[in-house]
Amino acid sequence: MDKYYITIKKEHSGKRLDKVIPDVLPQISRRQARKLIETGAVSIDRKRNRTLSRPVQEGETVIIYRGSETRTVNPDESPLEILHDDPWFVVINKPSGTPADATREGLRGTVIDILSETFPGKTIRTVHRLDMGTSGVMVVSKTAAATRDLNTQFQRRQVEKSYQALVHGQVNKESGRIITFIDRDPNDARKFRSVACGGKEAQTEYHVLSEYSLYTLLSAVILTGRTHQIRVHFSEMGHPVVGDRLYGMPDDPAPRLMLHAASLAFRNPRTGEMLSFEAGIPSIFSEYADTSG
């Protein structure tokens, strides 16, 4: 991967980012610059930026991460399982271990990277995220209008999301609802925790699906969409998700985070029709529970 640095000079101050990059780096066309910005491959003063029209200022440092040239991938040959594809959005079954987006500088091989190769010329944007270790249903927009509509649906809690999680221990209550307020953990910037005051409301409903000798398989519906919400709630309940080395045991031997986005329902941003998509739980959940218990 190539890495380019630009220190903004006076003559470029106030100009759009997508114009400055090709002005300073003629080997990158404006079309390529726009795509690099949209896919999260450009940062300003070490903060990722996706805004094409963002005016740069004198003294700022722009970093561009550029891999191999974009190639077209047949959707049938995509490394992602595509559950639905139309001109406005695509629904995938994200595998565990694939990051949804470039949350760290230089992180590549993301869902956005793969779909940008699969659908060249489209404005591929995430409208929600799954943790890198989480598998399952995820919708990604392909147009600016679809991005706006889907973002609004998520913000207004009009989207129905359900998960399945294999957790440590035996959960005594057959079902329940957890309501807390979640905020970032001041002792560990990677983590979140429930707090007595402040934070954002988080609601999780759960019920038991299966019981094993050492584990319980739960279904979870999140009524809010806070970062790490299910992982925080189940850990604080005394039943961390299997394979969660951040909120559970640091040396948990499970091969992956046993959390799966099982279904997702939302309105078609073009027609308003209610759509629902499902992805079956990976077999490794039951296989691990059977062999480890």
Helices 30-38, 17-24: crossing angle, 10 deg rounding: 130
Where are the extended beta strands (E) located within 41-142?
Answer: 42-44, 47-48, 61-66, 81-85, 89-94, 125-126, 135-141
131 as an active site residue: the answer is yes
Q: In what order do the strands lie in the sheet with 42-44?
A: 2-7, 61-66, 42-44, 47-48
Q: Which residues pair with 141 in a beta bridge?
A: 89, 125
- What is each CA distance from 18 to 53, 67, 110, in whole angstroms? 7, 18, 22
DSSP code of residue 187: T
Q: Which two tokens stand for residue 261?
A: 């986005």
Q: Which residues pair with 181 in a beta bridge?
A: 195, 201
CA distance 105 to 238: 34
Q: Which two tokens stand for residue 113?
A: 């990277």
Identified catalytic residue from 18, 131, 149, 244: 131
Q: What is the Cβ-side half-sphere exposure of residue 211, based on CA atoms within 13 angstroms?
A: 9
CA distance 28 to 106: 18
Q: Which residues pair with 221 in a beta bridge?
A: 162, 205
Q: Which residues are the active-site residues?
A: 131
